[in-house]
Structure 1
Amino acid sequence: MSLFNIFNVSASGMSAQSVRLNTTASNLANANSVASSAGETYRARQPVFAAEMAKANQGQVGTGVQIKGIVESDKPMLKEYMPDHPMADKEGFIYKPNVNVMEEMANMISASRSYQMNVQVADAAKSMLQQTLRIGKS
């Protein structure tokens, strides 16, 4: 595996973690939203990642991360009895998203650290390439 391939792997990792951070931010932004039916309620979303198997099957050692898509959680919505709320349905219930703020905060920290590690890998590869060029000059 060449040092140049490391940049591709690291970049795909950073891209994946950026999607993860954006998804988490969306979940946190909508955590306190309210709807009058379960169908209209915001559902927590999670990105789905996979190894770039096409490259792996071709014998390349360093494969990156592929973003397969973003899926909605199938956890039930939170149903709360609040008959005086303007968004309440006929029976007096409002529906809140199935977003667990604590899980999302942990997810955000994990994604941030993973992004940071990918940046450090790219910096280390850059440093190694620079040292290799310096050796060639002398």
Structure 2
Amino acid sequence: MGVKNVYDVAARAMSAQLVRMNAIASNLANANNVTGDKETVYQPLRPVFKAIYSDKLKSTGLSTVEAVRVERLNREPIKTYQPNHPAADDDGYIFKAAVDMDEEMVEMLETQRQYTNNIEVLNTIRNLTMRTLNIGK
């Protein structure tokens, strides 16, 4: 196993966390959007990941991660009676995206930690490589 494999695994993991952070940002940005139509309300997003083995990594038993798709969560929108709201339907209801702010914040913190951990892996391998190059000086 070479040093390049460590960089590849960490880079792919960081890329996957960026996909996750983009979904979280979209969810937070649309959390307060309302509509008068239940069918057009924003649905929160979640990326789906899978472990991947490239030919190069398979022989060493290493795997990394890849975001294979981003799915919309099929959550029931929050229905509120507000007949004076400009977006209200004929019955006076508005529909708000079912984005759980607490859940999104937990997802964001977990994503940040995983991204930071991969940066630490890259810093550690860089430091070890530099120490190795300085042996015998």
| Corresponding residue SS for 2:88 | coil
* % identical equivalent positions: 35
Residues of 1 paired with 2:40 and 2:126: CA distance? 48
Q: Deviations over 1:82-107 (max 9, x none)?
A: 11111011111111001000000111
Residues of 2 paired with 1:65 and 1:101: CA distance? 26
Residues of 2 paired with 1:46 and 1:129: CA distance? 37
Matched-pair contact (CA < 8 Å) for 1:56–1:63: no
Tell me: CA distance 1:84–1:24, structure 2 relative to 1, closer, same or farther (3 Å): same
- Counterpart position of 1:101: 101
Q: Cα RMSD (Å) of the superposition?
A: 1.6
Q: Structure 1 residues 75-84 or 51-60, which shifts more?
A: 51-60
- One-letter amino acid of the structure 2 residue matched with residue 120 of structure 1: E
- One-letter amino acid of the structure 2 residue matched with residue 14 of structure 1: M
Residues of 1 paired with 2:4 and 2:121: CA distance? 12
- Counterpart position of 2:73: 73
Runs of 5+ in structure 1 lacking a partner? none
TM-score by length of 2: 0.93
Residues of 2 paired with 1:93 and 1:76: CA distance? 14
Runs of 5+ in structure 2 lacking a partner? none
Deviation >6 Å, runs of 4+: none
